[in-house]
A and B are shown apart, each in its own frame.
Chain A
């Protein structure tokens, strides 16, 4: 019989008195309760609900307790701090991390520009320039090849 007890019955009990039920509903609830029992339970559940609302309203949360919990949460989840080159790095401190990253970036570009690019900026004199860009074909030694393809290419007329 208790298998008949479900959310539908509960809803009826909490919302309607026995006299407010229609015939079909009455038939359903009478399988479990007498009309008297039904009305009593109906009243009790309403009283429990009202009392619950009153009690919840009356009970107040302690703001001091909440603050303590928040502080404890912060303390418990404090990010791990590491010491690097005398700098205290806090990975969750965005400003500090950003400033440090930017400084490292600037430093990198200064070193890159001064040291690595320096060799490419060496100015050539005209004499040096000609030396590296002018070729005397007659000075090129005659080739000796056993390779047929090289022979063919060398004999080609352009």
Chain B
């Protein structure tokens, strides 16, 4: 009786939306796009350091969702699943293009960096670049765990699902990475 009632998809969970999408509900797809497009664009941009490519990857991941919604395992969290897919897309790209060693250079769009505590005198560009370099020195598992947690604010559970490991290992990787970063970024301290 959907033609008589107007379903409010904004109250549906991501997993429910995927079910509606598999039944061809366009509004459910729009809702899911609204929820995840920006987050995934940021994820791709942060991994690929290329805005145009990030837009293409974003398009590709939603095409995958449209074409194969049944590939989503409804027993899992959608966020974990979609980030796993996104992460695998990036890994394939690194493999194909050998981008791993690329020098990341965040562009801040000529916007003046707002004055913020601790960083009022520090160049955020320099920090970003140094952080990227420090993270690139780590192995991929530690790097992605740190990025998913602090760049994309996923829960420990979600990260454990994406990286196919236990929560204990996720915690251990985060601890190791923070400890390592505090050492490798020490030189920035003088500028803070």
Residues of A within 8 A of B (CB): 1-3, 5-7, 10, 13, 32-33, 36-37, 40-41, 43-52, 54-56, 58-59, 61-62, 65-66, 68-70, 72-74, 76-77, 79, 94
Complexed CA–CA distance, A69 and B63 (Å) = 7
Q: Please, which residues of chain B bring their CB within 8 A of the CB of A40? A: 181-182, 185-186, 189
Contact between chains at B66 and A6 (CB < 8 Å): no
Contact pick for A59, options B3, B42, B122, CB 8 Å: B42
Q: From residue 131 to 181 of chain B, which have CB atoms closer than 8 A to chain A?
A: 131, 150-153, 156, 168, 171-172, 174-176, 178-179, 181
Contact between chains at A66 and B33 (CB < 8 Å): yes
Q: Please, which residues of chain B bring their CB within 8 A of the CB of A74? A: 26
Q: From residue 38 to 60 of chain B, which have CB atoms closer than 8 A to chain A?
A: 38-39, 41-42, 45-46, 51, 54-55, 58-59
Sample of 30 A–B contacts (CB below 8 Å): A2-B175, A3-B168, A5-B175, A6-B171, A10-B174, A33-B179, A36-B182, A37-B179, A37-B183, A43-B192, A47-B122, A48-B151, A50-B116, A50-B124, A52-B153, A59-B42, A59-B45, A61-B38, A62-B55, A65-B58, A66-B37, A68-B59, A69-B29, A69-B33, A69-B66, A70-B26, A72-B63, A72-B66, A73-B26, A76-B67
Contact pick for A33, options B62, B111, B182, CB 8 Å: B182
| B13 close to chain A: CB less than 8 A | no
Q: Please judge, given known A-B contacts A77-B26, A94-B3, whether A46 and B182 are in contact too, CB under 8 Å.
A: no
Contact pattern, B 116-138, Cβ under 8 Å of A = 1, otherwise 0: 11110010100110010000000
Which range holds the interface residue count of chain B? Answer: 35 or more
* Distance of B65 from chain A, by nearest CB (Å): 9
| B78 close to chain A: CB less than 8 A | no
Q: Please, which residues of chain B bring their CB within 8 A of the CB of A44? A: 127, 131, 181-182, 185
| B103 close to chain A: CB less than 8 A | no
Complexed CA–CA distance, A37 and B177 (Å) = 12
Q: Please, which residues of chain A bring their CB within 8 A of the CB of B26? A: 70, 73-74, 77
* Nearest 8 interchain pairs by C-beta: A77-B24, A5-B175, A2-B172, A2-B175, A37-B182, A40-B182, A43-B118, A94-B3
* Distance of B187 from chain A, by nearest CB (Å): 11
Q: Please, which residues of chain B bring their CB within 8 A of the CB of A77? A: 24, 26
Contact between chains at B59 and A65 (CB < 8 Å): yes
Complexed CA–CA distance, A5 and B146 (Å) = 13
* Distance of A94 from chain B, by nearest CB (Å): 5
Q: Please, which residues of chain B bring their CB within 8 A of the CB of A69? A: 29, 33, 59, 62-63, 66
Q: Please, which residues of chain A bring their CB within 8 A of the CB of B174? A: 5, 10
Complexed CA–CA distance, A45 and B168 (Å) = 21
Q: Please, which residues of chain B bring their CB within 8 A of the CB of A72? A: 63, 66
Complexed CA–CA distance, A1 and B168 (Å) = 11
